[in-house]
Chains A and B, each alone.
Chain A
Amino acid sequence: MQDATFRRGCADALPIGAGYFGVGFAVAAAAVANGHPVWSPVLQSLTHLSGTDQGALAQRAIPGAPGGMWQLVLLCLALNLRYLLLSLALAQKLPPQIGIVRRLAVAMGVTDENVALAVSRPFPLSFPYLVGILATSYFGWNAGNAIGAVGTSLLPPSALAPLGIALYAMFVAIVVPEAKKSRPMLLAVLVAACLNAAARLLPSAMRPASALSMLLAGVAAAGVSAWCFPERKGAP
């Protein structure tokens, strides 16, 4: 049946790895094209594992450009505030016998996609399974960043374009079964999508940055859904 093994974690996270490869390539290529040294996107991908903050930094933290470093640190912190909530969501599903050291290892893999995949599994989570998800997504992201940074000329962007849909297809595959199972979840998902789409229609001066808009839409939608339809105890 369904064992939460390392191999299964790797297999389930393959679309994440493939999607991260494509996005990582694009983010790193953009950073270098904007004037970042090659080490910058490579070091970021190794230590951040965050498309949103790397995308923001690719456009801003350029050596020689005006602007201080602290506002950039704060911007990234705000963009990544959701890791607190994602980590909290994952903590709810983690068996208590997984100790602190292993939790610290798992923490490095806390991303939107990885946590959504992990918490949607119908079987109890295990440490090897989570390491499988982390290894696959981390490898895809870093390989994409390294190749994108070192050789933006290696692959023409047009060859990678259809790969862009893989990540979104995966989001759909994660969200749809949950929304099918539960009406409150369906409400949360639809409200979030509508809010984020509506935010895009605002005049550009009032429009929040896309990552912030996604975060606000998600928090508002989950908040409304949770307020109207609380969960039974112990069943997240």
Chain B
Amino acid sequence: MTEADLFAVVVLVAAANFAMRSAPLVLLRKPLESPRLVAFVGRLPYAILAAMVVPDAFSATGSAAPSCAGLAVALALSLCGKSLPLVAAAATLAAFAVS
């Protein structure tokens, strides 16, 4: 691996990323027909987000107590229907307070 190889990797991955990001947006402009496919595509981002949260979030701040405090605050405020920026700010403050 030389520095030129690294540059090539960075450029190739950039191109691949953009192709994967743009192809469905540009090519699939009609709504999907299959109810199962619609359900799958609609739920997938949330399912992946949930997998990103559990279990990594419990160690997000480097230690368990502030992470759990922040998560608990986030969960409680989200259940009460609070807005996204408020939830994030309150959870971060809670993590700061406990750490």
Interface, chain A (partner B; CB < 8 A): 11-12, 14-15, 18-19, 36-37, 40, 43-44, 47-50, 53, 57, 61-69, 72-73, 76-77, 80-92, 94, 96, 100, 103-104, 106-108, 110, 112-113, 115-117, 119, 158, 161-180, 184-185, 188-197, 200, 210, 213-215, 217-219, 221-223, 225-227, 229-236
Contact = CB atoms under 8 A, between A and B. Distances in A.
| Secondary structure type dominating chain B contacts | helix
Interface residues of B, number: 80
Interface of B: 1-3, 5-14, 16-18, 20-26, 28-29, 31-57, 60-63, 66-67, 70-71, 73-75, 77-79, 81-85, 87-92, 95-96, 99
Given A44-B10, A112-B48, A236-B41, A172 B16 contact: no
Contact of B29 (A36, A66, A91, A226): A91
Contacts of B74: 165, 168-169, 172-173
Given A164-B60, A225-B43, 16 more contacts: A69-B6, A76-B9, A83-B17, A84-B23, A107-B26, A162-B96, A165-B57, A165-B95, A168-B52, A171-B57, A185-B46, A196-B51, A218-B49, A219-B47, A231-B35, A236-B32
Contacts, number: 334
A165 B71 contact: yes
A72 B2 CA distance: 13
Given A103-B26, A169-B74, A18 B36 contact: no
Most chain A CB within a 10 A radius of its CB, from B14, B18, B55, B60: B60
A80 B92 contact: no
B91 A236 contact: no
B21 A83 contact: yes
B45 A115 contact: yes
Contact of B14 (A14, A47, A90, A106): A47
A113 B53 CA distance: 12
Contact of A92 (B31, B52, B55): B31
B44 to A, nearest CB: 4
B25 to A, nearest CB: 5
Contact of B46 (A15, A96, A178): A178
B53 A110 contact: no
Contacts of B29: 91, 96
